[in-house]
Amino acid sequence: MDWGLKNRVARIIRPDTGHTVMLAVDHGYFLGPTSGLEVPRKTIEPLLPYADSLMLTRGILRTSVDGNTSTPIVLRVSGGTSILGTLSNEGITTTIKEAIRLNVAGVALSIFVGSEHEKETLLGLSDLINEAEEYGIPVLAVTAVGKDMARDARYLGLCCRIAAELGAHIVKTYYCEGFEEVVRGCPVPIVIAGGKKIEEGDALQLAYDAIQSGAIGVDMGRNIFQSEHPVAMIRAVRAIVHKNVSVNEAFEIFNSLKNEK
Ligand code: R5P
């Protein structure tokens, strides 16, 4: 692997554990001011020391994150649709030149397998990889799930494999029953999204199950920043991802940290 590419991947996936806790705060790019992210800086600042990388758009990076941060950035470069329109009709919103100017560790784009715009988003991924690889920038492919798609191992396995075949360096998907099969069929590292906010204990169980099934980490948003105790939550998730603690131990960590100032 090209040195620059390898080095950037190592900024996203910690070489000492082979795992990563990415903090996803890119939701506003199609959802607007999502609950918990109304004032992005306020949400991001306390969590930044505990995130191995931050996934967000250039607009929120520029306005809501200090330029002197050492936290690696995975820049979302796809969008152009909203929750009111056809979500799968995304295009590229941000150039590679801009990504380089922002000194990012990687770029991210969503693919919509099985949707009306499947082909455009898959070719969009290929184009992005062709361009990003010229500069040694890794691409994270997000397997977006439309309302009608089943979140099962067959469908997610298909999406992850296609993303890897097209050259994605990391794939982000959803956890599902039989997740080992999804991992087995995907030759590049997989991180999982957290999905809608659930009870903290359940979200920790989800992270644990994903890691046990072979995911190399999480790219979690709402289950961290919509928690009443986001710092305690991200620290508990870290313990699962990097220290291989049990769900009970992680929940104890969450409970013992939640009232810390
Ligand atoms: C969706 O495409 C976005 O990338 C979200 O950031 C992603 O789904 C992760 O966030 P959450 O853990 O809230 O699902």
Domains of the chain with CATH codes: 3-257 (3.20.20.70)
Distance 146 CA to ligand 1 centre (A): 13
pLDDT band at 229, cuts 50/70/90? very high
Question: How much is the pLDDT for 151?
Answer: 87
Which residue in 172, 196, 197, 261 is the catalytic one?
A: 172
Say yes or no to pLDDT of 146 above 90: no
* Pocket perturbation via mutation, ligand 1, pick of 145, 219, 220, 224 by most ligand atoms within 8 A of CB: 219
Distance, CA of 78 to CA of 121 (rounded, Å)? 9
Please indicate whether residue 196 is annotated as part of the active site. Answer: no
Say yes or no to pLDDT of 261 above 80: no
Is any atom of ligand 1 closer than 6 Å to the C-beta of 242? Answer: no
Q: Which residue lies with its CA nearest to atom 1 of ligand 1?
A: 27
Distance, CA of 208 to CA of 261 (rounded, Å)? 26
Average pLDDT, the chain: 96
Question: How much is the pLDDT for 150?
Answer: 82
Distance, CA of 259 to CA of 237 (rounded, Å)? 17
Mean pLDDT computed over 222-239: 98
Distance, CA of 255 to CA of 229 (rounded, Å)? 9
Distance 173 CA to ligand 1 centre (A): 9
pLDDT band at 145, cuts 50/70/90? confident
CB 192 within 8 Å of CB 15: no
Mean pLDDT computed over 155-178: 98
Task: Read off the pLDDT of residues 15-58 as tens digits, 9 standing for 90 and up.
Answer: 999 999 999 999 999 999 999 999 999 999 999 999 999 999 99
Q: What are phi and psi of 74, to 5 degrees?
A: -110, 110
Task: Read off the pLDDT of residues 78-118 as tens digits, 9 standing for 90 and up.
Answer: 999 999 999 999 999 999 999 999 999 999 999 999 999 99
Is any atom of ligand 1 closer than 6 Å to the C-beta of 142? Answer: yes
DSSP state of 258: T
Say yes or no to pLDDT of 175 above 90: yes
Task: Read off the pLDDT of residues 148-164 as tens digits, 9 standing for 90 and up.
Answer: 778 899 999 999 999 99
Mean pLDDT computed over 135-145: 97
pLDDT band at 199, cuts 50/70/90? very high
* Pocket perturbation via mutation, ligand 1, pick of 112, 142, 170, 197 by most ligand atoms within 8 A of CB: 142
Distance 24 CA to ligand 1 centre (A): 6
Say yes or no to pLDDT of 237 above 80: yes
Residues 6+ apart with CB under 8 A from 185: 157, 160, 161
Closest ligand 1 atom number to CA of residue 55: 6
Is any atom of ligand 1 closer than 6 Å to the C-beta of 220? Answer: yes
**Statement: the pTM of the whole predicted model exceeds 0.95:** yes
Mean pLDDT computed over 238-253: 98
DSSP state of 49: G
Q: Which residue lies with its CA nearest to atom 14 of ligand 1?
A: 195
Is any atom of ligand 1 closer than 6 Å to the C-beta of 194? Answer: yes
